[in-house]
A and B are shown apart, each in its own frame.
Chain A
């Protein structure tokens, strides 16, 4: 079945640094969704991408829909402590009404 891979699995950065993470697949996706999950809470949608090459920002977050439609990237600029959490990518599967989720990138921000 379709799978999404995320890298890195985890990262430790200093407050104020920029962060880059990506999501890749061996199959094509028509939509990319990026989520952040805080401990004890549900995933919160950050950015949705619908077109190859699309670049979308949400505050300090910027995400891109890869040209090949097999990858997507999320960048966070000038990280702050509240950016700590797990970031998931997701996309619709090709077989039914479900979504495929990546395993997540765990971000830690050091003061």
Chain B
């Protein structure tokens, strides 16, 4: 158990509504990541954080924003959800970044109708 909790585990929402997914870690790791996993596309990076209030975009960041006000929490917000954002979202953490082990949460299944 890597000490990562994602909430909610499942969510169904309607197009155009805002959605926030939460990732909470108990490891005090510096780096936190949000990925989405889709058939045929594998795991794709949405945003990541390298410290409190320090975030950067990944390869599929359009339509998503993030915030990290505390070391342990990393929030992913869909300002206005679209059907193309239906996916499984994974949070991941790493102690030192890209040359260190990456640990994943259990995921959030999001369906946008």
Interface residues of A (CB under 8 A from B): 30-31, 33, 35, 40-45, 48, 88, 90, 92-93, 96-99, 101-104
Contacts and interface: CB of A to CB of B under 8 A. Distances in A.
Chain B interface: which size bin?
20 to 34
A44 B58 contact: no
15 contacts: A42-B105, A43-B104, A45-B2, A88-B43, A92-B97, A93-B98, A96-B56, A96-B98, A97-B48, A98-B48, A98-B98, A99-B98, A101-B42, A101-B43, A102-B42
Interface string B91-112: 0000001111111111101000
B99 A41 contact: no
Nearest to B6: A42
A97 B59 CA distance: 12
Contacts of B31: 97
B74 interface: no
B33 to A, nearest CB: 8
Contacts of B101: 33, 45, 48
Contacts of B50: 97
B98 A92 contact: yes
A100 B109 CA distance: 22
Nearest to B91: A42
B19 interface: no
Contacts of A104: 42
A30 B101 CA distance: 12
